[in-house]
Amino acid sequence: MTPKPAADPNAPSLNPLARKLAIYDTLTDREIARLAEAIGGYRDVAAGEDIVGVDQRTVFSTVILEGWAARYKLLPNGRRQITALHIPGDFVDLHSFLLHVMDQGVTALSHCHVAQVPHEALRKITDSEPHLTRLLWMSTLTDGALHREWLAAMGQMPTAAQAAHLVCELYLRLDAVDLVSNAGFAFPMTQVELADTLGVSTVHLNRTVQELRAMKLITWSGGRLTVLDFPRLAKLGQFDPTYLHQRREPR
Amino acid sequence: MTPKPAADPNAPSLNPLARKLAIYDTLTDREIARLAEAIGGYRDVAAGEDIVGVDQRTVFSTVILEGWAARYKLLPNGRRQITALHIPGDFVDLHSFLLHVMDQGVTALSHCHVAQVPHEALRKITDSEPHLTRLLWMSTLTDGALHREWLAAMGQMPTAAQAAHLVCELYLRLDAVDLVSNAGFAFPMTQVELADTLGVSTVHLNRTVQELRAMKLITWSGGRLTVLDFPRLAKLGQFDPTYLHQRREPR
DNA sequence: CGACATATTGATCGACTTCAAGTGTAGTGG
DNA sequence: CCACTACACTTGAAGTCGATCAATATGTCG
């Protein structure tokens, strides 16, 4: 109940977008207000439905308030690669603000409640709020950092390690937005989707999951995943959280 | 404001950085001048040397004027994944402006002549040049688009297709900065480095290269790679240039 | 209860890795 | 000019990982 000072990223009243940006740097009240004003509308998307289509020219970007989503690319050969997983607070397509054309689609992995931010509003922010602009830019940079880390994991680690790495990453990202409880979290993905994320077949993914279970590193059932031994999981996944850049400092 | 005469991206006098940004949108003369002013110094880096070290806190970002570089991650298991290839005009670590800590290193693949841009100068640009800021932001967004494309190629395509895809990408990127001649370009990578890029062993890469040669899609010797049949190469690599976003339009 | 998606298991095959050796090719010094 | 070195490239053989095909649970929801 303190009057106004810096945004407390753990304040439950904070909208998810401001809370996410506050992971990286302190926001002023004015900036929080500017973010709130920028929201043009809300929408609900059913699981399995596209939030943004591929090749689409967009006039707004979308933030997830509740639910999970995935960026994906469909290849001409019919296969699908999921290139990013998005949780509440994430901008699923902030990059479309400047790229204009979506090179990949975004689909809802679970029921999603989202907010839409018109590109016109983003442009105004970039014209008048340099610091907020840098934080928005930063949020796309962390996306890139995750992509690079995924590339390294996919190219150089066996599937079990790659899966362990992903679980560690999700754990910390979800924890940063208070979605971890009792060392676990709601995990709405199917094994098919997870296989498309790691770039392996479902059959092989299934065996990999069972391996992790047998090693007593995780449990996963009924849409909930629990980490039983984070240190060992991190070791198997060669996980170093540096790339998440979850540090609040002047940007 | 009446727009100043547009920068001709093909003007050979244009510095490589401005030429790169001019791929995405027209630059005003003032913006070109601001970019030139931002350069704090020049440096030469020998092949095999690091341009930026991992875990390093940086106070400037580096643009390549001549030569090739690679972002890479060394894993605890001793393996290496190259996550990005950089050619003249590319900012190899613009992301460090806001991320501060390098989560991956950057090494020179060939002798490199580079320019250094102090983060202080970038900050001034973000404070006073919204349009230029958006273009710099954009250049990090295209990096991200490449990462996502690489993820899809690595996860869902056989090695030969993945290699074909990469060659197509490099061809168009190099062409955009006028480094393609006679359907070929100087290609200073070793097979070991290329294997680390595609996430396969050198042995397998070598056989893959021979496959592409046998199919009469490319020649590669003496540090020069020539594309013999772009359409067939693009088809094999399921290559669609959309993700390069090489279109000049208002951003 | 049937209908349908999701998860699990088995068997077979091919892609890719590893280990190991051999073949250029360019540079250095006698 | 040749010997020597260093490095990149090429090839072979054996073995492993992961894909594919196919079938059988298990669950969930109308």
Say yes or no for a CB contact (<8 Å) between B95 and A141: yes
Region of residue A21 (phi > 0: left; psi between -120 and 50: alpha; otherwise: beta): alpha
Residues A5, B97: Cα–Cα separation, whole Å: 27
Q: What is the DSSP letter of A91?
A: B
CA atoms within 13 A on the CB side of A163: 26
At B15, is the pLDDT very low, low, confident or very high (cuts 50, 70, 90)?
confident
Report whether pLDDT(A151) > 70: yes
**Residue A76 contacts B, CB cutoff 8 Å:** yes
Check if the beta carbon of residue B17 is closer than 8 Å to that of residue B89.
yes
Residues A94, A229: Cα–Cα separation, whole Å: 34
Residues in chain A: 251
Mean pLDDT value across residues B169-180: 95
pLDDT in tens, B83-122: 999 999 999 999 999 999 999 999 999 999 999 999 999 9
A interface test, pick of B98, B157, B242, B247 with most A CB neighbours within 10 Å: B98
pLDDT in tens, B219-242: 998 889 999 999 999 999 999 999
Check if the beta carbon of residue A24 is closer than 8 Å to that of residue A76.
no
Tokens of B1: 């404001």
> In chain A, which residues have their Cβ closer than 8 Å to the Cβ of B73?
148-149, 152
Q: What is the pLDDT of residue B16?
A: 81
Mean pLDDT value across residues B139-154: 96
Q: What is the pLDDT of residue A55?
A: 87
Q: What is the DSSP letter of B48?
A: T
Residues B74, B68: Cα–Cα separation, whole Å: 19
Residues B66, B72: Cα–Cα separation, whole Å: 19
- Say how far B195 CA is from C19 C1', in Å: 18
**Residue A120 contacts B, CB cutoff 8 Å:** no
pLDDT in tens, B199-210: 999 999 999 999
Per the structure, the residues numbered 208 to 247 in protein chain A that have their CB within 7 angstroms of any atom of strand C are: 209-210
Q: Which residue has the higher pLDDT, A251 or B7?
A: A251
- Model-level pTM greater than 0.85? yes
Give all strands (DSSP E) within A94-199, no chain letters.
105-108, 112-118, 184-186
Q: Name the strand (E) or helix (H) holding B225.
A: strand B224-227
Say yes or no for a CB contact (<8 Å) between A154 and B199: yes
Report whether pLDDT(A191) > 70: yes
Tokens of A182: 């009792």
Chain A segment 10-49 residues within 8 A of B by beta carbon are none
Region of residue A129 (phi > 0: left; psi between -120 and 50: alpha; otherwise: beta): beta
Task: List the nucleotides on chain C closer than 7 A to a protein CB.
Answer: 5-11, 15-20, 26
Residues B198, A195: Cα–Cα separation, whole Å: 20
Which residue is listed with tokens 């993820």?
A: B151
Report the helix count and the strand count for chain A, using DSSP H and E: 9, 10
